Amino acid sequence: MATGPAGSKTVQGKEPLTSETKNGATASTPAAKRHRKSLLLAAVAVLWVLVWIAFRGVQTLELGGAERTDFHVWLNGLRDAFDASRDSSFFFQYVVTPITQGLNAVVEFLQNLFSQASGGRPVPQVGWLGVVALLSWLAFALAGVRSMLLVAAFTLLCGFFGYWEESIDTLIITFISVLLCVIIGIPTGLLMARNKRFSAIMSPILDVMQTLPSFAYLAPLALVFGIGPAAAVVTTLIYALPPLVRITEHGIRGVSPSTLEAVTSMGATPWQTLSKVQVPLAKRTIVVGINQCTMAALSMATIAALINGPGLGAPVLQALQALDVGSAFVSGLAIVLMAIMLDRTTTAASERSSIAARVRRGSKESQKRGAQRRRMIVLIGAAVALVAVYLSHNYLTLAKFPSSPNLGKPLAAIIQSFNDWTVETFSGVTEAFKNITTAMLVNPLESLLAQSPWWVMALVIIAIAAIAGGWRAAAITVLCELVILGTGLWNETMKTLATTLVATLLVVIVATILGVWMGRSKLADSIVRPILDAFQTIPSFVYLVPALALFGPTRFTAIAAAVVYGVPIATKLIADGIRGVSTTTIEAAQSMGTTAGQMIMKVQLPMSRKAVVLAVNQGLLYVLAMVVVGGLVGGGGLGYLVVSGFSQGQLFGKGLAAGIAITALGVLLDRITKYAAFRTAS
């Protein structure tokens, strides 16, 4: 036996037994595995392109705009059967109809009370002054003076824009949906936190609910609940419930184990532990969950305009369909004001719980005096609000929202003029950017995906899933592909996938640049993060307005809106990953004379690989959700078919099939990227 380099022992005639070879050659190291994976993906890509060249345009399963498959016709028949059986089916009579009638009755009652003319009156029972007073008092009671002023100002602004009734209807749908989410979601989250088996059952269901693009909910729920307020509430409930459940579970699980052990040692029952310790300590986190739930509900309540849901979504949708950028901007701005108002109020409410906890550390006497003073102010505010309600009920000028100042029409005219000037001035730049991106990225990728034989594309996607995410990702991919094939919309799905991938690429490029900058600079983080927070507050519907103004009704409009929608979440994840790189590693690299570029490319991004892959996952899902919404402004693909299904009765089945295909595509992309992230981390 001899001694080799660096003191490693060798057997004569054999290589040193190093960390690279002791587990079976260099292929076992992470770097070697990644290299092998890259080679396999490159081989798949080369083979794919060669087959595409040979069989381009063959067996693409393309379906004309008005063409329908037997499955689409069957879905139309299913709709007719549903409608015919509403009066005779046990399910409809004793399950669906009571839910639908109950939700419609609650919405109608609140509309008659606050927003619509009722009881033979030309105005609602509670006029605008009473509504503003009640909302302001509620904001003060929950969140404080600043939130009260914000709510009063923004609610009045929505009225002065000319959308008073629509704004209050949006608040009604959001309020009912969030209330139902709280009733269902918080107990579900508590049970998941205390029962691992129940959590294991619910987690995949919540995953699917969060993965599905919101457009996918609309057609099937319209089929069951019809169009109107009830369907809008149920749709919003499905979309907004998962964040509340997950955050509630996280808050309860986050309570210190030592605290729980101390309480248990004192003989507390499970119910006492939950109600007296876990829920109070997790209160702030649960309120954050309500905040996220509220924002999701507001976002979905606007999209629900497609199924005749009342609120601000209707004027935005009408303006987009008429290509009226000025009116779309004003109604979209009203939605943004609502979003900011609700976001800041619920955020302030969560912060108040922390302040209250700190105040409780003072003397009992000071606590008592503070509580009494606040209780008195709240009661006085309630009395003032009730007086305002009485006055608004009895006096027409305080009931009907004033027609002046009318800010909406002048602002719409200004925006339309500005849009016309922008298009005229920068049309060369925007048109060039759109054309270059379309010619260099969108068209080639769409041709590669949609003009390849369907079986080639199916095998390519399965191979990518297997290489990137393993056999589980490949198995789920096979199931999702079978669903897409079953809908008869394989070609349209590939077109949607192409648009999604291009938008995701742009999101990753922008998010990486901003995320690295934020992760390396606290000043940059302090500047950019509030902007990203503001962008995340805006409902997805609103992003279509500026994109439509800049690029007109084209598929690139959907891409542009999707990029702006997906960048904030991806940027934050990458910034957090860069910031999480060990300072010891950074210092060691700096001591070796590493340049800033080398630090980013060779150290920080590689060590943030898990965060980057997660950013790709989340950015991709956000993009997919927005790309299909882009069907409203010429985006084409599956989103256009969903919209057509609502507007043309004979295409209902095709639109519903498109919703199913969107769901399968979303699950497919989510599983591949999530399993890829897991394998990257391990």
* Together in a domain, 481 and 349: no
* Together in a domain, 207 and 349: yes
Residue 4's pLDDT band (cuts 50, 70, 90): very low
Residue 367's pLDDT band (cuts 50, 70, 90): low
Residue pLDDT, tens place only, 140-175:
988 888 889 999 999 999 999 999 999 999 999 999
What's the domain range around 557?
425-681
Instruction: Copy the structure tokens of residue 28.
Output: 């076992």
* Together in a domain, 516 and 616: yes
Angle among Cα 216, 233, 208 to the nearest 5 degrees reads 35
Burial of 104 (0-12, 13-18, 19+ CB in 10 A): middle
Last residue of a domain, one of 345, 373, 406: 406
Residue 271 forms part of a structural domain: yes
d(CA 212, CA 206): 10
Residue 412 forms part of a structural domain: no
pLDDT of residue 1: 41
pLDDT of residue 469: 87
* Together in a domain, 159 and 227: yes
Number of domains into which the chain is organized: 2
Q: Which residue has the tokens 């309630």?
A: 382
Residue pLDDT, tens place only, 46-61:
999 999 999 998 999 9
d(CA 301, CA 313): 7
Confidence check: pLDDT of 181 > 70? yes
pLDDT higher at 358 or 444 = 444
Q: What 8-state DSSP symbol labels residue 631?
A: G
Paired strand residues for 10:
2
Q: Averaged over 98-113, what is the pLDDT?
A: 93
Last residue of a domain, one of 371, 406, 441: 406
| Closest by CA position to 117, among listed 403, 386, 400, 314 | 400
Last residue of a domain, one of 354, 375, 406: 406
Residue pLDDT, tens place only, 123-147:
899 999 999 999 999 999 888 888 8
pLDDT of residue 133: 95
Residue pLDDT, tens place only, 235-248:
889 988 988 998 88
pLDDT of residue 489: 93
* Together in a domain, 194 and 315: yes
* pLDDT cut 70: percent of the chain above it: 93
Q: Among 19-23, 77-81, 183-187, which is the least confidently predicted range?
A: 19-23
* Together in a domain, 479 and 386: no
Highest mean pLDDT among 41-50, 276-285, 301-310, 673-682: 41-50
Residue 402 forms part of a structural domain: yes
Confidence check: pLDDT of 350 > 80? no
pLDDT of residue 358: 52
* Backbone dihedral region for residue 526 (phi beyond 0: left; psi -120 to 50: alpha; all else: beta): alpha
Confidence check: pLDDT of 62 > 50? yes
pLDDT of residue 178: 92
Residue 25's pLDDT band (cuts 50, 70, 90): very low
Distance from CA of residue 260 to its chain's centroid? 34
Residue 19 forms part of a structural domain: no
* Together in a domain, 282 and 323: yes
Q: Averaged over 398-402, what is the pLDDT?
A: 91
* Together in a domain, 459 and 596: yes
* Together in a domain, 394 and 430: no
* Together in a domain, 385 and 243: yes
Maximum Cα interatomic distance, the chain, rounded to a whole number of Å:
104
Residue 51 forms part of a structural domain: no
Confidence check: pLDDT of 373 > 90? no
Work out the mean pLDDT of the chain and round it to a whole number. 84
Residue 260 forms part of a structural domain: yes
Residue pLDDT, tens place only, 451-479:
999 999 999 999 999 998 889 999 999 99
- Count Cα atoms within 13 angstroms, Cβ side, for 97: 12
Residue 583's pLDDT band (cuts 50, 70, 90): confident
pLDDT of residue 6: 41
Q: Averaged over 10-15, what is the pLDDT?
A: 43
Residue 544 forms part of a structural domain: yes
Instruction: Copy the structure tokens of residue 301.
Output: 């309540």
649, 655 contact by CB (below 8 A): no
Residue 555 forms part of a structural domain: yes
pLDDT higher at 107 or 9 = 107
CATH of the domain at 121: 1.10.3720.10
Residue pLDDT, tens place only, 301-325:
777 888 888 888 888 888 887 878 8
What's this model's pTM, rounded to 2 decimal places? Answer: 0.79
Confidence check: pLDDT of 182 > 70? yes
Q: Averaged over 443-451, what is the pLDDT?
A: 92
pLDDT of residue 446: 92
Secondary element (H or E) of residue 124: none
* Together in a domain, 401 and 430: no
d(CA 49, CA 26): 31
* Together in a domain, 282 and 335: yes
Confidence check: pLDDT of 204 > 50? yes
